[in-house]
């Protein structure tokens, strides 16, 4: 497992993994320090993994907020659909892009290092985003 000291400043806001719409303050940055891992290993699209652990955490949050059974079922369905359509991308020209389906939520340069989220490259196909608010978010290479 290779730790990537890649610090991103963005908000992961929805119950599953989506991010808020971009604003002027949502510019994404990352440090150049990649702990022995060339940036090129990150380049490409990564699909959000909505595994049992993540689904359980999301559904617990939804259950705490929504008491109506029909509304809760709909919220769980929407979270699952959103998760299955959520991707992040690291481009060759050092941009970070977050999408749900074809909708681009966030795009920004990767070049400076404010405090934020840490990424771990678990293996060549698995990236873990350690978010202090949402916990670990897992992505697989597409």
Distance CA 58, CA 10 (A): 19
Question: Is position 55 within any domain?
Answer: no
Question: Is position 59 within any domain?
Answer: no
Question: Is position 62 within any domain?
Answer: no
**What is the spatial order of strands in the sheet that 44-48 belongs to?**
2-8, 117-123, 126-131, 135-141, 44-48, 86-90, 95-100, 103-109
Q: Which domain holds residue 8?
A: 2-49+86-141
Question: Is position 66 within any domain?
Answer: no
CATH number for the domain harbouring residue 34: 2.40.128
Distance CA 112, CA 7 (A): 8
| pLDDT tens readout for residues 1-40 | 555 445 454 433 333 454 433 333 333 444 433 455 678 8
Domain count for the chain: 1
Are 76 and 84 in contact, with CB atoms under 8 Å apart?
no
Query: What is the average pLDDT across 71-96?
Result: 95
- Asked whether the whole model's pTM tops 0.95, one would answer no
| pLDDT tens readout for residues 92-120 | 998 889 999 999 998 888 754 335 777 88
Question: Is position 9 within any domain?
Answer: yes
Question: Is position 57 within any domain?
Answer: no
Query: What is the average pLDDT across 123-140?
Result: 88
């Amino acid at each position: 497992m290779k730790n990537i000291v890649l610090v991103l400043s963005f908000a992961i806001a929805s119950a599953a993994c989506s991010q808020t719409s971009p604003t002027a303050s949502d510019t994404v940055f990352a440090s150049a320090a990649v702990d022995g891992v060339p940036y090129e290993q990150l380049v490409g699209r990564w699909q959000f993994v909505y595994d049992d652990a993540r689904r359980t955490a999301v559904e617990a949050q939804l259950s705490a907020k929504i008491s109506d059974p029909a509304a809760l079922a709909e919220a769980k369905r929407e979270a699952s659909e959103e998760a299955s359509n959520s991707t992040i991308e690291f481009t060759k020209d050092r941009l970070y892009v977050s999408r749900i389906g074809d909708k681009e939520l966030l795009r920004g340069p990767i070049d400076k290092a404010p405090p934020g989220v840490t990424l771990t490259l678990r293996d060549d196909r698995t990236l873990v985003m350690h978010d202090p608010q949402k916990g670990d978010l897992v992505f697989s290479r597409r």
